[in-house]
Amino acid sequence: MLNGKNILIGITGGIAAYKICELIRMFKRNNANVRVVCTPNALNFVTKLTLQNLSQNEVGVEEFNIEQFKPEHISYADEADIMIIAPATANTIGKIANGICDNLLTSIACAFTKPMIIAPAMNCGMWDNQFVQENLEKLSSAGYYVLEPDEGFLACGYNGKGRLCELQKIFDKTVNILNGEKFLSGKKIVITAGGTIEEIDSVRYISNYSSGKMGIALADEAYKAGAEVILISTVNAEKPYGVIKVKSAEDMKFAVENEYDTADCIIMAAAVADYRAKNIANHKMKKADNVENITVELVKNPDILQSLCKRKNSVLCGSAVSDTVKEKAPVIVGFCAESENLIENAKVKIAKKGCDYLIANDISRKDIGFSSDYNEVSILRKDGAIKHLDRMSKNDIAKSILKEIYG
């Protein structure tokens, strides 16, 4: 699976360092070329000789061991296709997140421009430290792959979250990144993102707190998985796939319906305003000194999700529908944002709308949802099945949603 791939493993000073010996063997058994870099403290837990024998390469520790004209940390960074730091201590995570380069490993990490996997392992109290979590969020937001630790009995005697994740998880993630999972090849995925803007006058509007991050994460991951992607977004996004910039709910409805006939899947991740101003002033409405209150009459916006489902179901409910027509009908995925009774309200919505999947978000929590790089959702299927996804980065949530649909 990894024939000819160059994998760089960084080991830091944690008790889980001994486990990386087996990870090296897993990569070697799959024909990868493995190089290892250790922090000086890592050698308190595993020996340099052991790592050299397993990797069949010299192990890097000293930062200024220059054998050629090229600086050592640049040479390691250039040669590797991917870098894995496991176990990653709180100390090393903090250094990488803040651009500190005080040893060979952190210098390589700073210069590394290709995919990097961070697999933390530490005491549960350290894991829960707010500054450690902030550093991890910075790394995740910057595109690093963070594999959260498992819960269990720790070397320090505590029970809690902090154990290095299973080696198979690190191995599988590496294979997926290097080989690319193109499970959406040949599919056209249309995704909406952001909160719609409904004008009141030339300077004021009605909108919501949606950042568009979830929709953009879905578009990014669908593109990586080989799909033809059309992102219909209210927020600016410069992407290698198709982006249609829209503003209002009516703009979005027109753009989505325009893509309907050629779409394999439509994911309505945007937060569409329920109402808009009935009459939009073409100038700024002036404040009158003798008027304390004004009334803006609102009218309902089109329900884009419901209209898509109605369009699909009206075709499928025909008396003589061929299998070809059924196969061509797009999968319709909706989103709902609830502040209470999440699953109960989501069940009502999927039944009312008639979509194939509904992604339920809890917007009452501050650590997920709007503007956050993290989310935690429940995926409801039309047949009544429900799958819960625990808190993780929006990109990982996006991958899980796409695999649930096409897995």
Determine how many CB atoms are found less than 10 A away from the CB of residue 141: 15
Mean pLDDT of the chain: 91
**Is the confidence at residue 62, as pLDDT, over 90?**
no
Contact predicate 379/343, CB 8 Å: no
- Per-residue pLDDT of 337-351, as tens digits, reads 988 999 999 999 999
Contact predicate 282/332, CB 8 Å: no
pLDDT, position 361: 92
Residue 240: asked if its preceding bond is cis (omega within 30°), the reply is: no
**Is the confidence at residue 70, as pLDDT, over 60?**
no
**Is the confidence at residue 242, as pLDDT, over 80?**
yes
**Which of 52-63 are b and which e, b meaning 16 or more Cβ less than 10 Å from the residue's Cβ?**
eebbeeebbbeb
Domain coordinates in residue numbering, the chain: 6-179, 188-406
Label residue 66 by pLDDT band (50, 70, 90). Answer: low
pLDDT, position 318: 62
Which of the four CATH numbers 3.40.50.10300, 3.40.630.30, 3.40.1440.10, 3.40.50.300 does domain 188-406 have? 3.40.50.10300
Give the active site residue among 110, 156, 165, 309.
156
Label residue 185 by pLDDT band (50, 70, 90). Answer: confident
Label residue 287 by pLDDT band (50, 70, 90). Answer: confident
Locate tokens 């369009």: which residue? 311
**Is the confidence at residue 191, as pLDDT, over 70?**
yes
Which of the four CATH numbers 1.10.10.10, 3.40.50.1950, 3.40.47.10, 3.30.499.10 does domain 6-179 have? 3.40.50.1950
**Residue 24 belongs to what H/E stretch?**
helix 20-29
pLDDT, position 323: 65
Closest CA to 191 of 17, 398, 40: 398
pLDDT, position 326: 67
The rounded percent of the chain whose pLDDT value lies above 90 is 72
Segment 71-95 shows an average pLDDT of: 89
Segment 149-176 shows an average pLDDT of: 89
Label residue 142 by pLDDT band (50, 70, 90). Answer: confident
> Worst-scoring range by mean pLDDT, 63-72, 237-246, 353-362?
63-72
**Is the confidence at residue 264, as pLDDT, over 60?**
yes
SS3 assignment, position 121: coil
Q: State yes or no: is 156 an active-site residue.
A: yes
pLDDT, position 68: 52
Segment 52-75 shows an average pLDDT of: 77
- How far apart (Å, rounded) are the C-alpha atoms in residues 367 and 133? 11
Closest CA to 204 of 294, 301, 304, 336: 294
**How many residues does this entry show for the chain?**
407
User: Do 6-179 and 188-406 come out as alike in CATH topology?
Assistant: yes
Closest CA to 142 of 174, 120, 113: 113
- Per-residue pLDDT of 304-333, as tens digits, reads 999 999 999 888 776 566 666 667 899 999
pLDDT, position 63: 77
pLDDT, position 73: 64
